[in-house]
Amino acid sequence: MSEGRNSLFNSFLRKTNEMPLVDSWLDRRGDWLMDNSKIREYLRPMIQEKKQKIKILSIGSGKGHEIDWLDSVLEGADITGLDPNDFWTKPVQKRLETSGKFGGNTAEYLPPEVRAEDLTGIGDESMDAIVMFFVLHHMDENKHGKTMQEMNRVLRKGGLAFISEDIVENQQERGLTVKQDRLLNAEVSSDNPHNYRSQNEWKEFFERYGFRVKDYNEVQPDKVRNGFFVLEKIEDLEEQKSTI
């Protein structure tokens, strides 16, 4: 697609995503993501235990609906979002302007220069939780390792990472998942990455970069398997070496 046509298409998507019906659908999808990821189950007790705000990094925030949802259900959270290829819409921005009613939360969207594989400006062990929904399989595979290294760097000891990814065990499942993915994301180019893994392959990949699977939930809407991983950092160096 030419640069001019691509610009027009992106402008069309921006306007479409601000329509009430589309905004409402994206909001419901945010609810679905949060419910299946068990974020409330794990982070509300963390807030109560710390007795102070927790810091959450949302990688691949898209239109901002997951930030909106996090802000509304986690009283006592400061949320930072990033997505170099997207934007949060005006309806989301408007709702977040009222975030003070949710325990004085703050929510910000980082500039596009900050990327999953290069979290420049985010301090070591500065985040209590990281949320990353269906992001890795859309990235070049050679950036996966660096992304996990950066997540490990910015997540504090005792913090949690919530990652969801499509689960593909064979070629038939891969074909169905690619088709659904392209439809859901309005992909117009066949060049977009679709780097899926099986459940065990994701588990081994996370362990390679210093994370242990603490909890796992799987759902299968529309014949596509969605895996929701709750990860904790492996703090024991010898244990981490044994997973490599």
Q: Which pLDDT score, from 0 to 100, does residue 63 have?
A: 75
pTM comes to 0.85
**Residue 61 or residue 97, greater confidence:** 61
pLDDT band at 98 (very low <50, low <70, confident <90, very high): low
- Mean pLDDT for 91-106 is 61
Radius of gyration of the chain (CA): 18
Q: What percent of the chain has pLDDT above 70?
A: 76
Question: How many other CB atoms sit within 10 Å of the CB of residue 154?
Answer: 17
Which of 66-75, 109-118, 177-186 tops mean pLDDT?
109-118
Of the listed ranges 56-70, 127-141, 206-220, the least confidently predicted one is 56-70
| Predicted confidence (pLDDT) at residue 244 exceeds the cutoff of 70 | no
- Mean pLDDT for 88-109 is 65
In the chain, domain spans: 3-242
| Predicted confidence (pLDDT) at residue 100 exceeds the cutoff of 50 | no
**Residue 202 or residue 182, greater confidence:** 202
- Dig out the tokens for 58 from the structure: 């949302």
Mean pLDDT score of the chain = 83
> What is the C-alpha separation between 165 and 151, in angstroms, rounded?
16
Class for domain 3-242, per CATH?
alpha beta
Buried/exposed 110-139: b ≥16 CB within 10 Å, e otherwise:
beeebbbbebeebeeeebbbbbbbbbbbeb
- Mean pLDDT for 97-104 is 52
- Mean pLDDT for 167-183 is 92
- Mean pLDDT for 185-202 is 84
Q: Which pLDDT score, from 0 to 100, does residue 25 have?
A: 63
Q: Which of 88, 90, 123 is nearest to 108 (CA)?
A: 88
Q: Which pLDDT score, from 0 to 100, does residue 21 have?
A: 66
pLDDT tens by residue, 153-163? 999 999 999 99
- Mean pLDDT for 63-81 is 82
